[in-house]
Structure 1
Amino acid sequence: MNTTIQPTVLLVPGLRDHVEQHWQTLLAADLPRAVTIAPMGRANLDCRARVEAIEQAANSIRGPLVIVAHSAGCLMVVHWAQRTRRAVAGALLAAPPDFERPMPEGYPAIEELAANGWLPVPRTRLPFRSIVGASRNDPLASYACASALAQDWGSELVDLGEVGHLNPSSGFGPWPPAHDYIEQLAAAAPMRA
């Protein structure tokens, strides 16, 4: 008898790692099968180390995999996708930042990002289905930039409206639509046992 295997969701936070009331942290507690990339420290900008952490976590998961990334986590995923052989059902990439333009105060400078392997931002088509959730008033990326990234990555673009950077400072703890996007991605590539 064949039964559908539920995917494991791999959560990839941004540079700020885990924030207690962040929607990703709350989502992880809600999901029956979730793995979150371990915190690497806000000062650790090494993109290669972060990509390796995704590779290790993804390869430790048996069965179908859906990735849920936020902010710089989205860019970690697209860097990782260029090197991995791990099959992925899909990825939700929420509020990707524009690392190719100066960031607001308190964020790394372009020179720091380049020195740590973030630039150039990969623009090749992702080898799995993906959804980019873009905000109309994200202080870290214009809607036009997020739209261009989605197009380059071959992602479905979802207009989230005016949700800032989709984080607690923008008024988000829980983000219920994440469940729907995960279900869409999981349904696109079911795996049977």
Structure 2
Amino acid sequence: MIAPVLLIPGWHNSGPDHWQSRWQSAHGFIRVEQHNWDLPLRGDWMIQLEEAVLTHPDAVLVAHSLGCILVAAWAAHSIHAHRVKAALLVAPSDVERPEMQQMLHSWSPIVRERLPFKSMVAASRNDPFCSFMRASVLAQTWGSSLADCGMSGHINTESKLGDWPEGFALLQNILKEKNGH
């Protein structure tokens, strides 16, 4: 049986041309919906992720941007984190930057605990929201492997990646490793 894939968008959600939305349409992946995409509150978002994981056990998480920060916070607090099989964490946003703290005050500090499941951080070398060095440090503290996505910006719609086949290949690798292939 193939694990359910939960898509965890970041701040403002992922629009129709974002690779997450394309993957949802093409593969039937499940988007974790939030009550307010524009004024994200960490506690509220954590509850939504908790409910999604309880509804879809043995899930693989595919998070983008603020969604990566959410996964780290949720995993550190949930007694159900063991229900997640793996996570692909794409372009984590650095919510500790001074210009972000006022807008996303409930998200700082970033939780820096080892994730209790296999994970990979996919990071770009020219992401305007998180330096590659910072993403590398987050990957290390989360116990995640690191995928260098080159000069891909924030790995979002503006990056013009389309269906982002390279990212889908990373997900397939995580699924194969999870299933012991």
Partner SS for 2:23: helix
Is the Cα–Cα contact under 8 Å of residues 8 and 61 in structure 2 kept in the other structure?
yes
CA distance, structure 1, for counterparts of residue 34 and residue 48 of structure 2: 10
Partner SS for 2:22: helix
Confirm whether residue 90 of structure 1 aligns to residue 86 of structure 2. yes
Following TM superposition, by how much is the alpha carbon of 1:168 offset from its aligned partner in structure 2, in angstroms?
1.3
Taking CA–CA contacts closer than 8 Å with sequence separation of 6 or more, which of the two structures ends up with the larger relative contact order? 1
Following TM superposition, by how much is the alpha carbon of 1:82 offset from its aligned partner in structure 2, in angstroms?
0.9
Match of 1:111 among 87, 102, 118: 102
After superposition, the C-alpha distances for 1:105-144 in whole angstroms (9 at most, x for unaligned) are xxxx413423x2x111011110011010010000001110
Confirm whether residue 13 of structure 1 aligns to residue 9 of structure 2. yes
Following TM superposition, by how much is the alpha carbon of 1:39 offset from its aligned partner in structure 2, in angstroms?
4.1
Q: Give runs of aligned pairs for residues 129-140 of structure 1, distance below 5 A.
A: 129-140=118-129
Is the Cα–Cα contact under 8 Å of residues 90 and 185 in structure 1 kept in the other structure?
yes
Q: Residue type of the partner of 1:31?
A: H
Confirm whether residue 25 of structure 1 aligns to residue 14 of structure 2. no
Aligned to 2:133: 144
Is the Cα–Cα contact under 8 Å of residues 66 and 91 in structure 1 kept in the other structure?
yes
After superposition, the C-alpha distances for 1:67-122 in whole angstroms (9 at most, x for unaligned) are 0000000001111111222421110000001111134xxxxx413423x2x11101
Q: Residue type of the partner of 1:11?
A: L
Match of 1:38 among 33, 53, 68: 33
Is the Cα–Cα contact under 8 Å of residues 34 and 45 in structure 2 kept in the other structure?
no
Is the Cα–Cα contact under 8 Å of residues 120 and 147 in structure 2 kept in the other structure?
yes
83-92 vs 46-55, greater mean Cα deviation: 83-92
Aligned to 2:62: 68
CA distance, structure 1, for counterparts of residue 94 and residue 14 of structure 2: 21
After superposition, the C-alpha distances for 1:4-24 in whole angstroms (9 at most, x for unaligned) are x10100000001113010000
> 4+ runs of 1 displaced by more than 4 Å?
none
CA distance, structure 2, for counterparts of residue 57 and residue 121 of structure 1: 22
Note the residue ranges of structure 2 that are not aligned, 5 or more in a row.
none
Confirm whether residue 55 of structure 1 aligns to residue 50 of structure 2. yes
| Matched pairs, number | 178
Is the Cα–Cα contact under 8 Å of residues 13 and 71 in structure 1 kept in the other structure?
yes
Note the residue ranges of structure 1 that are not aligned, 5 or more in a row.
104-108
CA distance, structure 2, for counterparts of residue 113 and residue 120 of structure 1: 10
The structure with the greater share of residues assigned to helix is: 2
Following TM superposition, by how much is the alpha carbon of 1:163 offset from its aligned partner in structure 2, in angstroms?
0.2
* Identity between Structure 1 and Structure 2 (%): 37
Partner SS for 1:82: helix
CA distance, structure 1, for counterparts of residue 116 and residue 69 of structure 2: 15
Match of 1:181 among 153, 158, 170: 170
Partner SS for 2:102: helix
